[in-house]
Amino acid sequence: MGCLWRKTLSFFLVFVPIYLHGASSQAAAPVGPRKPFLERLRRLEEQASYTPDMVRSGEPSAGPAQSQCSVKGGSREWEARHPQHECFWMLLLRLLQGADSPPLFLVCGVGPTLVFPNASTKNVVFLSPGFVTALRALSFCSWVRTASGRLGTLLSYATEDNDNKLVLHGRDSLLPGSIHFVIGDPAFRELPLQPLLDGQWHHICVIWTSTQGRYWLHVDRRLVATGSRFREGYEIPPGGSLVLGQEQDSVGGGFDSSEAFVGSMSGLAIWDRVLVPGEVANLAIRKEFPTGAILTLANAVLTGGFVQRANCTCLERCP
């Protein structure tokens, strides 16, 4: 297999420069749209040199995720001393095989992953201690992979006077791929999360501030929805129950398996402030973790059921 890989790499080293030279030699032709293959190759090359998990040879490494690279789909994982170049060719191989779903780079070093294997009311994860002070702004970000073709409930926050103080739950029966962003029921906004139904890892950030009731939804670093006048001047009160994977109809209970989340979450964090676009982008590519997170998966409390906590070097290696 090692010989086959070297032959394959040699083929790429010869074929790609010839292909690129042939494409660039057509200078006499009118300038038109960039060819899809070349555009995708350019994006791969940029990400292989830009993504912090693929550091340049000689630069300091921030962790084990930055010293290795893998390609899935076969029976072997290749470990490399010089990940920038090795990862580029491995990602190119994925591209030529048709694996061009975002993100194109490997997602490594995001911390523990929670796996919700089935739609059971026993699969409950509490974030403790929840919100200890009132929130006038909120940023919720996480890597998410669905396993059932539906969204289910990502997060719910219930208090004694309102079991829907804060909820992110799918409404697939009404509009597949949409999610209700609820703050102080019955107020909500319907947000598009159709990309999450493909069974791949995606990075999402849902952000809200009581100032003018502004809100934003980022998916894979792209702003896909925004608006205003949503719970303007409102405060999310402290002292409630904050749950992942279930929709609460009472404080810490009242779950319905039809609303349960099935899939995986990783790198989840909550801030009591608005993350700006640059922070969202840096978080999604693991360049920098924004300061001031009030809750992360380090606060996760598993209370039985079938939820598993996995430690994966890269998300693509998670079960």
Q: Where are the domains of the chain?
A: 2-23+35-96, 113-317
- The pLDDT tens digits of the residues spanning 113-151 come to 999 999 999 999 999 999 999 999 999 999 999 997 888
| Predicted pLDDT at 194 | 87
pLDDT of residue 37: 53
Q: Is the pLDDT of residue 270 over 80?
A: yes
Mean confidence (pLDDT) of the chain: 77
- pLDDT for residue 130: 97
Select the more confidently predicted residue: 120 or 21: 120
CATH number for 113-317: choose from 2.60.120.200, 3.10.400.10, 3.50.30.60, 2.160.20.10.
Answer: 2.60.120.200
- What does the alpha-carbon distance between residue 72 and residue 94 come to, in Å, rounded to a whole number? 9
Q: What is the pLDDT of residue 61?
A: 32
Q: 75 Cβ partners below 8 Å, 6+ apart?
A: none
Please indicate whether residue 74 or residue 312 has the higher confidence score (pLDDT): 312
Predicted structure pTM score:
0.71
Q: What is the pLDDT averaged over residues 209-220?
A: 98
pLDDT of residue 309: 96
Torsion of CA 50, 51, 55, 61, to 10 degrees: 140
Q: How many CB atoms lie within 10 A of CB 233?
A: 9
The listed range with the strongest mean pLDDT (11-25, 57-71, 302-316) is 302-316
3-state secondary structure the chain: CHHHHHHHHHHHHHHHHHHHHHHHCCCCCCCCCCCHHHHHHHHHHHHHHHCCCCCCCCCCCCCHHHHCCCCCCCCCCCCCCCHHHHHHHHHHHHHHCCCCCCCCCCCECCCCEEEECCCCCCCCEEECCCCCCCECEEEEEEEEEECCCCCCEEEEEEECCEEEEEEEEECCCCCCCEEEEEECCCCEEEEECHHHHHCCCEEEEEEEECHHHCEEEEECCEEEEEECCCCCCCCECCCCEEEECCCCCECCECCCHHHCCCEEEEEEEEECCCCCHHHHHHHHCCCCCCCCEEEEHHHEEECCCCCEEECCCEHHHCC
Is residue 39's pLDDT more than 80?
no
pLDDT tens profile 272-307: 999 999 999 999 998 999 999 999 999 999 988 999
Answer whether 228's CB lies under 8 Å from 212's CB: yes
Measure the CA–CA gap between 18 and 24, rounded to whole angstroms.
10
The arithmetic mean of pLDDT across residues 204-212, rounded, is: 98
| C-beta separation of 201 from 102 below 8 A | no
The larger pLDDT score, comparing residue 91 to residue 168, is at 168
Work out the percent of the chain whose per-residue pLDDT is above 90: 57
pLDDT at 86 over 90: no
pLDDT digits (tens, 9 = 90+) for 235-257: 999 999 999 999 999 999 999 99
Residue 42: band (very low, low, confident or very high) from pLDDT cuts 50, 70, 90: low
Pick the residue with more confidence: 175 or 121? 121
148 or 216, higher pLDDT: 216
